[in-house]
Structure 1
C-alpha cells in the first residue's frame, strides 16, 4: 500500500512514476518487436520472450510498490548485509555459475537463474549513500570495511569477467563520493586505480581485447570480431529520419546478434529512426532532470545521495547501452533498463526507480500524513481566538 494519497504526492514523484510506467510499457512493445521473429523460429512461439517479460514485469512492479511504501531508513539497514550477500553470490558464480560467451555471470538456483551483479546494484547505491553521508563522522575501521567490501565486489565482478558492470559500479561509487564532497585528491587517485584495473582486465582477457580492437575499426573484420557492431550500425543507419516503422526492422531477422538484450536499441533505432532516437534521449534527459530535482529537495544527506545514485544508475546504464549500440563505446554486456529482456535487470531497475520515488516522497514531510511544521503553525495561528 502506497504511503500517500495520489493528490498529496509531490510533482516530481508523480512524474517519475508516470514516466517509469511509460518506460516499462514501451519496453514491452520494443521487446515484442525485437524478439518475435527469433522466438518464432527458435522457440516455436513468437510471444515466448514477451510472456516471460510480462511475468517479471508484474513482480518488478510489486517490488517498486514495496520500495515506495517502505521507509528509506529500513532499506538502509538491510543494504549492508545485502552487499555482503551479493559478494558471496558473485563469488559463487565463479565456482558454480553457468558460463555464457566465456563469462560466468549466472548462478542456477533450482529452475531459475539469477545474475547477482545485477541484483546487488540497488543495495550498492543504498550502502554507498549510508557510508558517504557520514564520511567525516565515520571511524577509519568503518571506512576501510566498506571501501574494502566495494572493492572486493568490483574485483569479483571483474573476475567473472564482466568489465562493463564493474566499470559501471566503480563509476557509480565515484560519482556518489564526489557528490558527498570527498577530497578531490583521493577521488583522483581512486580513478587512476580503477583505470589501471580496467586496462589490466582488457589485457588479460583476450575477448575483451578483441572487442576494443573491433570497436576501433569494426569494418576491418566485418564477418568476424566486428560483425556485431557492423550489423548494429547498419540497423541504426537503415532507420533514416523517420524509421522503417514499428515491427518492420530487417536486421532483427537473425542478422543482428543479441537483438533482444544488449543491442535492442539498434532495432528501436531502425524502426523509429533518428526522430525516435532523439525522443528517447530527451526522455532520458527528463528523467535525469527530475532525479536531480529530487536530490536537491531531499532533507537528509542519505536521501540526497540515494537519489543521485539511483538517477546515475538508471540514466548512466541507459546511455552506456546506447553508446555501445552506436559504436561510441566498446561492446559490453549492459542491458537497456526496462527494455532489454531479462528478469534480473527488470527487478533491479524498477527497485531503483522505486527508491528514487521514495526519496521524493520523504522530501516533502508528508509521508504518513504528516504536514510540514510551518504549515501546522499557520493553521494553529488561524484557529487561535483573537484577543
Structure 2
C-alpha cells in the first residue's frame, strides 16, 4: 500500500469515537472488579479477581476483534456469500443452543466450552443488523414502490426473535426486534405500504394467538414470571423475594448521593445485589462514585450512540448508513433496557450495560460492532475529504437511508 494512502486512511478514523469506547470499556473493567470481588469469594469460592480476569481476557479478545473489523472494508459484509452465511448460521446456532446448550438462570442460552461460555443470541444482534442492512440496501430502488420485497426479511427477523424468546430470553428478543424495526423504518421502504404490511402481520398474530397461548400458556403465564411482574409493580410488598434486587438497587443509588462512598466501598454488593457485576453494575457505580460516576457513563454512552447516528447521516452509502443505524440503536436500546430495569422504569430483563457490565460474549460483540462502525466512519470521511471533496455539499441530497 502507498504510504500516502495509508496515512490518509489512518487520519480518516473517528478517534473521538474509538477513545470513548475504550475509555468506557476500561472503566467497566475496573467496576467489574469492584462489583464482583465479594461475589467471587463468598458465592463462587474463587479468587476475588476471578470475574475481573475473565473480563480482562474478553476485552483483549474484543480489542483484537475491533482491530480486524476496523480495517476490513465494511462493504464485504454486503456480498451475497456473507449474507447467505449469516442467513443460515443464525437460525442453526440458535436451534442448536436450545437443543444442546448450557442452562443458567432458567435459560438455555449458552454453548459451554470449559470455563468459557458463548451466547449465540448476542452475536445474532450484529448478524441480523448486517443481514437486514445488506438486503434493504440492495433492494432500495424496489422498496420505493413495493413492500413485497421486504416481507421475507421481516418474517426472517420475526423467526429469529421467536427462537431467542424460546430459550427463553425475552430481553434480547425485544432488543433485536427494536433494532430490526429501526433498520426497516429507516430504509427506503414505502411507509404507506409498510403500514399495510404491519396491519397484515398484526392480523396474522391475532389469528395465531390462540395456538400460541394453548402451547405456551404455562411458560408465558408461569407463576415465576407473574411474580416478577408483581415484584416490578409493587417491589416493597415483595421485599424478601421478587422485589429484593430492585429495592437494594434503590438503596445503592440513594447511598451514593452526589460524590459516592468511594471506589470499592459499596455496601449493597455484600450479597444485597446478587447480580452486582452484571445487570446491576450501574447501581454499584452510583453507590461508589455517586452522580458523577453515573453521568460519566451516561455521557460516554450517549456520545457513542450520537456519533454513530451522525455517521449514518454523513455516509453516502445506503448499506453503511443502515449498518451504523443498527449498531447505534443496539447500544442505545440495550442501555435503556438495563438502566430502566435497575431504576424500576421497566421490568428487570437480565440485559447487561454495554461496555461496562461483566459478560464476555456481550463485550466481544460490542467491540466487533464498534470496529465496523469505525470502518464505516473511515470510509465516509476518506470519501468526503480526499476522493470527492465536492460531495461535502451534496451528501445530504444523495443520502438514501433517511428519505
| Pairwise TM-score range, normalised by the shorter structure | 0.7 to 0.9
* 110 and 25 in structure 1: CA distance in 2 versus 1, 3 angstrom threshold: closer
**CA distance in structure 2 between the partners assigned to 1:86 and 1:97 by the alignment:** 15
Q: Is the 8 A contact 1:79 1:124 kept in 2?
A: no
Question: Which deviates further from its counterpart, 91-100 or 300-309?
Answer: 91-100
* 269 and 172 in structure 1: CA distance in 2 versus 1, 3 angstrom threshold: same
Partner residue of 1:49? 51
Gaps of 5+ in 1: 376-387
1:174-213 aligned at under 5 Å gives the runs 174-182=181-189, 183=191, 185-186=195-196, 189=199, 203-213=220-230
Over aligned residues, Cα RMSD in angstroms? 3.0
2:270 pairs, out of 240, 244, 253, with 253
Matched length: 372
Partner residue of 2:294? 277
Q: Give the match's secondary structure for 2:85.
A: helix
TM-score by length of 1: 0.87
Runs of 4+ in 1 over 4 A off after TM superposition: 138-142, 190-202
Q: Give the match's secondary structure for 2:109.
A: strand
**CA distance in structure 2 between the partners assigned to 1:371 and 1:58 by the alignment:** 33
* 179 and 325 in structure 1: CA distance in 2 versus 1, 3 angstrom threshold: same
**Offset at residue 181 of structure 1 (A):** 4.2
Question: Which deviates further from its counterpart, 83-92 or 311-320?
Answer: 83-92
Partner residue of 1:152? 159
* 271 and 300 in structure 1: CA distance in 2 versus 1, 3 angstrom threshold: same
* 194 and 373 in structure 1: CA distance in 2 versus 1, 3 angstrom threshold: same
Question: Which deviates further from its counterpart, 83-92 or 63-72?
Answer: 83-92
Q: Is the 8 A contact 2:306 2:328 kept in 1?
A: no
Partner residue of 2:398? none
**Offset at residue 7 of structure 1 (A):** 8.2
1:348-363 aligned at under 5 Å gives the runs 348-363=365-380
Partner residue of 1:66? 68
1:346-385 aligned at under 5 Å gives the runs 346-365=363-382, 371-374=386-389
TM-score by length of 2: 0.84
Q: Is the 8 A contact 1:178 1:187 kept in 2?
A: no
Partner residue of 1:317? 334
- Would you say 1:132 and 2:147 are equivalent positions? no
**CA distance in structure 2 between the partners assigned to 1:45 and 1:268 by the alignment:** 22
* 287 and 111 in structure 1: CA distance in 2 versus 1, 3 angstrom threshold: closer
Q: Give the match's secondary structure for 2:382.
A: coil
**Offset at residue 207 of structure 1 (A):** 3.0
